[in-house]
Structures are given as C-alpha cells and as structure tokens.
A and B are shown apart, each in its own frame.
Chain A
C-alpha cells in the first residue's frame, strides 16, 4: 500500500470512530458500517479469525437491530445519566481513573500548541473519543511528523481506546457498540504496528 492509501484508510477509521461516538448513530453511519462489512468480506484477502469474527458479529447485529434500537443502545451506554450501564468516553477516565484529570489538561496543552481550539458548540471535553479522533484526523490530514502522531497515539488514543473497547465488549447492554469495540481493537493494533514501523523507518 502506498502512503497516501494508508493515510486514507487511517482517516476513514478515525472518521467512523468519531462519528460513532459523537452523536447518536444515524442511517448514514449504519450504511457506512454495512458497506465496510461488505468490503471486508469481499476484499480482505488474508485469512484472519479476528476479521471473520468482526464481520460475523456485525452481520448478525445489523440484521437483527434496526436504527431505532441502535439509537436506544447509544443512549443507554453514553447519554442517559440514570442508566446503570453508562460507559465513559474520556481518556482521563481510562488513564487516571477519573474524569477531568491531568490527561485532559495535557491534551488541551497539546492542541494549544497546535493552535487548535474547540468550537463553542462542541460540548464534549477535549479528551473524549470523538475529539481526539478529530485531532488525529487533523494530524494525518496536515501530514504532521510521524513522531508527533506516534506520541499522540501512544499517550492518549491507545489507552483510551483499549479501555473503551474492553468496556464495550464486556457491557451486557452493548450489541452494536460491542462490534464497534471489536473493530476499534483491530484497528488500534494495525495503527500501532503502522506507527511503530513508520517511526523505525523515519
């Protein structure tokens, strides 16, 4: 794969992660997942149990759940303050076991240095999954040095997404999002390998 193609794949994944956690899912997002599953089925040449499991899981879930059910799942997992199944989406929680911690300050410091600012209509903190996915999209889009991307990934994205994936996979209320967790887990592993190789070859 060429570098541009790799960047495109990375951007696509960060984009769907961002979209999955930013707001309740809509038909467009579900379509993207359907297409992704189809593409993986058709085009993923290497025999891989993990990928097969992800495809199977997504197929089962998408066949059995309509959009309304997926929206309800989103609200139970991430929105309803009285839900007993709430899952945190912030890096501080998975790194320091508390929200609004030092990790949030460090991410704010990082984006301050990039001269990026959170728009006022965006309510999630800067260490939330959608926001840090967006930061990574910005870094890839603007071809920031690979060590900057690697640092941001290892310090913030990887610990957050690993923790979040585990929570999603273990949640008894997560079906669609358990599949998203599986996909994210697969993607993080690929991203980690890519960034490590890129750092070595830089």
Chain B
C-alpha cells in the first residue's frame, strides 16, 4: 500500500457547564480552529447553545453531534418592546433579554404579553454539528464516548497534535475473509479491538476497520489475532515461514530484534562464540505463538528476544509453558542471554513450509510437537491464552441447520454433505463463540482450555442425521431433523396447512406442485 496524505480538519466543539471556560477556550483556540460551543445546561443562554441532550455518533475526524437546545427568544423577530421585562413578576428578564431560570417560575406571563409571540419558554430546536474534535469537561460524555478525538479541556494538546495534514503509511492490514468477528451479529472475536490502546480499530459497516492515523504500529492487534486476519505489512505470516526455507538454525540460539538491538547484542558477545547465534532482524512486537513454536520446532535451542517490553506477553508465557509440558524443556524464550544453550530436545525437526492460515499452521506445528513429545495428555488450564477450546453439541437439540458452520470461517466446524454430518476439529477452534451465539436451537456450548491429546487434532463427528428423500424425484435434499424442526415451527405458528403442504418435496418439485395446485 502506497503512502497517502490525510487532512484532519480544524473543527472543534467545546462542551462545558462553565461559561467562563467556554469563553476562555474560545479565546485561546479561536482562529486556529473553527470553534462551536455547547453550554451543557438546561438553562437558556443567549451566548451559547444550551443543551443537555447531546448525542454523539461517528468517529474521529468526523463526529456528528446532534443536540436539542432551548430556543426561548427568537431575536430575529423581537422588537425589544420591553413588555416581557415589565410583566415578569420574578424580574428574571434582564434588559439584554437574558433570562435567569433560577428565578423563573415558568408562569408564562412573558409569553402571553409578547406582541411578536417570540418567547417560548419550553421551545426546543434540534441542530447537528460535524466536528473533528470535541473538548469537554462533562464526565458523562467522556465516560460514554471513550473515543480518540474526544478529550478533556486540559488535554487540548492532543487536538493540536492531531490537526493538519498527515502522511499515512499503513503498517497493518485486516482480512475480513478469515476474521471470526461477525458484523451481522456484532459478536465474535474482537481481540484486536480490545488490545488496541489507541482505539485505532473499530467496527464500521459491520466490518473491523483500521484507523491508520491513530495506529502507532505497536503490533498488539497482529500478535493477539488467532486467525491471522490482522497482519503486519512488513512481516506477514507467509513471509515469515517462507524466509526459513533456506535457513538452518538447528541447535542455534536465535536472536530476534531490530537492526539497532541486534548490533548492540553483537557488540557485547565474544567473537569466537558468534557461530552459536542466528540473528533475525525483525519486529518481535508482531510475533505470536505461531512464530515462537515454529522456531522451536525447526530446531532453535533458544530464542532471545531483544525487546523487554514483551516480557509479559501471554503468547510467550504460553509458548514457554507448552514446550515445558511437552519436553520438560524450560525457558525456550528469554529476553537476555542467560548463557544456557542446551540442544533442542526434538529428535526430528519440522520442515513443512507450506501455509494456509495462521491457525491451521499453528495446529499443524502443535500437532507435530505433540507427536514428538513423550507426553500423551497435556492440560494447560492457565489462562494465558484463551484461543483454545472445544465445541460441545447437544444432539437432541441440533437440527443440522448449519448456521454454526456458515459462521465458522476458520473451519473448526464443517459439514459433510455426503453423510449429513456436523464435524469439529478442536485444533482450529479459536473460541470466538459465534457458533454458540448463532445456534437457533441453543444446542452448542463452548468448553475453554487446551487439552492436548490425539483427539484434539482429529476431525470429530458431532452429529449425523439421515437424509430425507423427495417422494417425486427421489433426490435427497435435507436432513430429517431439519425437516422436523421446520414442520414443528410451521405447526406452532399455524402456517403448516397453508405453507407446509409440500414441505417433504425438494425445492424444485415443491415449486412445480404449488404451480400445479394453482393452475
């Protein structure tokens, strides 16, 4: 993706319940920004729009702010006759036509006496403002709209830093075809969005989108994505796997870091020992379980990551724990050279450089490691990573509608059309929970945690049904349970007589039958 320019407009909305503050920021930011103001109050103000009914939609840099404001006096038709001033029993109307609503009893005498009928004490108008930024001190707004572009007054420097023309260089991409977030249901895996501290990821038009202006390329979204839908533009999974085709680092210490970090590391080690090391210039911040386990399974005896910010990474904790459980080999990944370089415990190394998706590759590597491990059953119940689990099915409830399969892009659930079965491969399941959510029969339950055994890698048949045969053309066209479920629902809703008459016929024959009946 080529670099491109993005201009953030200098529109700014100030919302405060303090008129002095509104005036101050109008003064100090005026001219630099096109400023709109809302006085957060239900007391009429001649100077500002007064409103407490404010709805903010959209996102930075184009917020739409809808608000209702009191439009008590129509100044364009007021003749300043002063009758309202004289009539007001509370004397709460000033000569400037400011109304003190603290004193006003809403007796409406001013409304009645006005010859121009330009006073409406409860008169509301709606308006809309499109703005790039909002500065406010109203906690309710800040709490409800935790979005970039909405800041407290004292953080106005954020506004200044985000205004102007920017050269955007995209560093990450998102592939909706393998993403396990369902926009239609607003449900599923949103680990990338949850991990982003800059709110640079968001949902729009039922899809996950990236705000490249706000993105600081921290790599967290790429690292936590279990499907590989989020990818780094510089180090994609395919490129990573592919780059090791020619590399032989069996029993070597792999050192991972950027150019400067590796140079610093090299300077500190004795030249005679450099043959022990394999240096990889890359960005470890984008790495995840797949990368770490791939390096181990290909023969690395140690992985030194020259980025201590990753020392609490759950991906690394999990990788270390899994390797320890399977091979009794501890601290494969470290953050400084600890001087211990035991040989890689694998008798044979992984050499499959093909690639489908991140999760399928990970399943393949874990399968390989499990095969080489002497341990036959491993349960990792520490909640370092919540990307493993199984689907459990209540056969009695399942109607084989296959809604779950349609939503499982990663392929953990699949249907076999030949034998009318629903199948599950736990090693592909990322625990997005969409299948559970989408099941109309409430037949699916998710069981979290990684239980490594032979079955974990096998395609398990969850349910099988018999096909129903069309009495006309003898074609098999649906499962019996699906047929029974539809029939039951039609009967329950009273439509079976009118619509279910030819339900036992296949689609083509059903149409012919209905046409014959109407002829």
Q: Are A102 and B28 in contact (CB under 8 A)?
A: no
**B457 interfacial contact with A, CB 8 Å:** no
- Residue among B28, B31, B156 having the largest count of chain A Cβ atoms under 10 Å: B28
Q: Are A100 and B31 in contact (CB under 8 A)?
A: yes
Q: Within the assembled complex, what's the spacing in Å between the Cα atoms of A150 and B27?
A: 25
* Residues of chain B lying within 8 A (CB to CB) of residue A104: 32
Name the interface residues of A97-116: CB closer than 8 Å to any CB of B: 98, 100-102, 104-105, 108-109, 112
Return the chain B residue nearest A113 by Cβ.
Answer: B24
Q: Are B28 and A112 in contact (CB under 8 A)?
A: yes
B contacts with A: majority SS: helix
**A125 interfacial contact with B, CB 8 Å:** yes
A contacts with B: majority SS: helix
Q: Are A105 and B160 in contact (CB under 8 A)?
A: yes
Q: Within the assembled complex, what's the spacing in Å between the Cα atoms of A117 and B156?
A: 21
Q: Are A112 and B24 in contact (CB under 8 A)?
A: yes
Q: Are A100 and B32 in contact (CB under 8 A)?
A: yes
Q: Within the assembled complex, what's the spacing in Å between the Cα atoms of A125 and B32?
A: 10
Q: Are B160 and A101 in contact (CB under 8 A)?
A: yes
Q: Are B27 and A108 in contact (CB under 8 A)?
A: yes
**B157 interfacial contact with A, CB 8 Å:** yes
* Residues of chain A lying within 8 A (CB to CB) of residue B164: 98
Q: Within the assembled complex, what's the spacing in Å between the Cα atoms of A98 and B164?
A: 10
* Residues of chain A lying within 8 A (CB to CB) of residue B31: 100, 125
Q: Are B160 and A112 in contact (CB under 8 A)?
A: no
Q: Within the assembled complex, what's the spacing in Å between the Cα atoms of A182 and B160?
A: 34
* Residues of chain B lying within 8 A (CB to CB) of residue A100: 31-32
Return the chain A residue nearest B29 by Cβ.
Answer: A105
- Measured CB to CB, the closest approach of chain A to B69, in angstroms, equals 27
* Residues of chain A lying within 8 A (CB to CB) of residue B29: 105, 108
Q: Within the assembled complex, what's the spacing in Å between the Cα atoms of A109 and B157?
A: 13
- Measured CB to CB, the closest approach of chain B to A79, in angstroms, equals 19
- Measured CB to CB, the closest approach of chain B to A110, in angstroms, equals 9
Q: Are A102 and B157 in contact (CB under 8 A)?
A: yes
Q: Within the assembled complex, what's the spacing in Å between the Cα atoms of A98 and B29?
A: 15
* Residues of chain A lying within 8 A (CB to CB) of residue B27: 108, 112, 117
Q: Are B160 and A109 in contact (CB under 8 A)?
A: no
Q: Within the assembled complex, what's the spacing in Å between the Cα atoms of A102 and B31?
A: 12
* Residues of chain A lying within 8 A (CB to CB) of residue B24: 112
Q: Within the assembled complex, what's the spacing in Å between the Cα atoms of A125 and B27?
A: 12
Q: Within the assembled complex, what's the spacing in Å between the Cα atoms of A108 and B32?
A: 11
Q: Within the assembled complex, what's the spacing in Å between the Cα atoms of A104 and B32?
A: 9
Per-residue interface assignment for chain B, residues 150 to 165, with 1 indicating a CB less than 8 Å from any chain A CB and 0 otherwise: 0000001100100010
- Measured CB to CB, the closest approach of chain B to A97, in angstroms, equals 11
Q: Within the assembled complex, what's the spacing in Å between the Cα atoms of A112 and B25?
A: 10
Name the interface residues of B103-145: CB closer than 8 Å to any CB of A: none
Name the interface residues of B22-77: CB closer than 8 Å to any CB of A: 24, 27-29, 31-32
Return the chain A residue nearest B161 by Cβ.
Answer: A102
* Residues of chain A lying within 8 A (CB to CB) of residue B157: 102
Return the chain A residue nearest B28 by Cβ.
Answer: A108
Q: Interface residues, chain A, CB within 8 Å of chain B?
A: 98, 100-102, 104-105, 108-109, 112, 117, 125
10 A–B pairs (Cβ distance < 8 Å), ordered by A: A100-B31, A100-B32, A101-B32, A102-B160, A104-B32, A105-B156, A108-B28, A108-B29, A109-B28, A125-B31
Known: A108-B27, A125-B31. 15 other contacts (CB 8 A): A98-B164, A100-B32, A101-B32, A102-B160, A104-B32, A105-B29, A105-B32, A105-B156, A108-B28, A108-B29, A109-B28, A112-B24, A112-B27, A112-B28, A117-B27
8 closest cross-chain pairs (CB), A and B: A108-B28, A100-B32, A102-B160, A109-B28, A105-B28, A112-B24, A112-B28, A102-B157
